[in-house]
Chain A
Amino acid sequence: MNRDVSTRKRISTRTLLLWGLAVTLVLAGVVSFYASGHPDGLEFVAEKLGFDSTAAGHAGGDSPVADYGVRGVENSRLSGGLAGLIGVLLVGIVMTGLVALLRRRTPAKRD
């Protein structure tokens, strides 16, 4: 046993992942509603120095969740929260799939 670790409160990997996922879902689904609507650093600087005018519209602007709102959902709290949860789902699926692919194709070397 490693002393450094055994003196700490240990939780299982599964518990840690579930807690992390819970925090993430609350952030994306609920807290995101309270995010600042001000332009971010780059947008703000672009506006101030006047180069924001060259920004082009987005080719994916007609996506059903464009700009973090679910099209057709009137309630902005619900619309934004759902969009956040959908995003978490999409990112989770793609990243988990990628990791599984990378791990499967890793030769079982013991070095």
Chain B
Amino acid sequence: MPDGFLDATTSLATAATAVAGVGLSLRGARRELSDFAAPLAGLVAVFVFAAQMLNFPVGAGTSGHLLGGTLAAVLVGPATATLCLTVVLLIQALAFADGGLSAFGTNVTLMALVGVWAGYAVFLLARRVLPRRVASVPVAAAVGAFVSVPAAALTFTGLYAVGGAAPIDLSSLATAMLGWHSLIGLGEAAITFLAVGAITATRPDLVHGARALAGVQDLEIREGVRA
């Protein structure tokens, strides 16, 4: 989101939300990173950055791209995922003039907080419903990813209702945002399924969202012993 879509008060409120959310995630990430899966966090961040460059067409002159919040949350845990997305958004805004500076708090709120935590919550629900197998993890991740995109779009609509810069019809905004972002959510789900599926198939023990299903693997894998 560029600067100028939301008024100053709303931007300040989302900035405060972003600071609180990222602050809590810094604490939470320490717990998530205290195992051997930590190197994956750097990879997830650069992958999300690269994937966000890849706009795919969704028809009628529109495109979508991965947000990556759910993908990151399932792979490295939601708090670390919030940090990954925040770093991606920071580099985009500072180096690539992509995403406004006064809109930074809003972008963090939408993608690094709502995109991550809503997607992760739906992932957990879906995983509970699906068979208790590691193979269910990419499917549940795809479901979470699908929901995360319209969830972020709906949050944007809510923020625009509070502090939008232009007087527009809010119900058509909600309809258009939800409609297009549900389509984009399908792309989000497909990419998330493939990425989570690839890592789950080779190293399920490294996948944060698969560990609960992998029993006591955490205690058995001793990667660093030889080194």
Q: B42, B63, B176, B214: which contacts A49 (Cβ < 8 A)?
A: B176
CB within 8 A of B91: which of A12, A51, A90, A98? Answer: A90
Closest to A62 in B: B97
Considering only CB atoms, which chain B residue lies closest to A23 in the complex? Answer: B47
Closest CB in chain A relative to B80 CB, distance in Å: 8
A36 with B57: in contact, given A94-B91, A95-B84, A99-B33 (CB under 8 Å)? yes
Tell me if A17 and B39 are in contact (CB < 8 A).
Answer: yes
Contact for A28 among B42, B53, B201, CB less than 8 A: B53
| Chain B residues closer than 8 Å to A48, beta-carbon distance | 176
B225 cross-chain contacts in A, Cβ below 8 A: none
Residue A78 lies at the interface, judged by CB distance under 8 Å to chain B: no
CA distance in complex: A49, B130 (Å): 40
By the criterion CB–CB under 8 Å, are B34 and A68 in contact? no
Q: Tell me whether B177 is interfacial, beta carbon within 8 Å.
A: yes
Closest to A105 in B: B30
Return A18 CB to nearest CB of chain B, in Å: 10
Q: How large is the interface on B (under 10, 10 to 19, 20 to 34, 35 or more residues)?
A: 35 or more
Cβ A10 vs Cβ B61 within 8 A: no
Contact of B4 among A2, A42, A56, A102 (CB under 8 A): A56
Nearest residue (CB) in A for B201 is A8
Complex alpha-carbon distance, A59 and B153, angstroms = 25
Provide the residues of chain A in CB contact with B199, threshold 8 Å. Answer: 16, 20
One of B13-21, B112-120, B138-146, B164-172 contacting the partner: B164-172
Closest B residue to A61 by CB, please name it: B97
- A95-111 contact mask (Cβ, 8 Å, vs B): 1 or 0: 11011001101100100
Q: With A36-B55, A98-B83, A98-B87 in contact, is A55–B39 under 8 Å at CB? A: no
Cα separation A23 to B51 with both chains bound (whole Å): 10
- Chain A residues bordering chain B, tally (CB within 8 A): 67
Q: Which residues of A contact B166 (CB under 8 A)?
A: 50-51, 53-54
- How many angstroms from the CA of A68 to the CA of B80 in the assembled complex? 26
Q: Which of B129-188 contact A (CB under 8 A)?
A: 134, 153, 156, 160, 164-166, 168-169, 172-173, 176-177, 180-181, 183-184
Q: A41-B64, A44-B180, A99-B41 are in contact. Are A91 and B97 (CB under 8 A)?
A: no
Shortest A80–chain B CB gap in Å is 8
Find chain A residues with CB under 8 A from B97 CB.
58, 60-61, 63, 66-67
Which of chain B's residues have a CB closer than 8 A to the CB of A66? 96-97
Closest B residue to A95 using CB positions: B45
A109 to B31, CA, bound (A): 10
Contacts of A49 in B (CB 8 A): 168-169, 172-173, 176
A92 cross-chain contacts in B, Cβ below 8 A: 42, 45-46
Given contacts A20-B47, A28-B50, A50-B166, 8 further A-B contacts (CB under 8 A): A17-B43, A35-B53, A38-B61, A51-B164, A53-B166, A60-B97, A60-B101, A102-B30
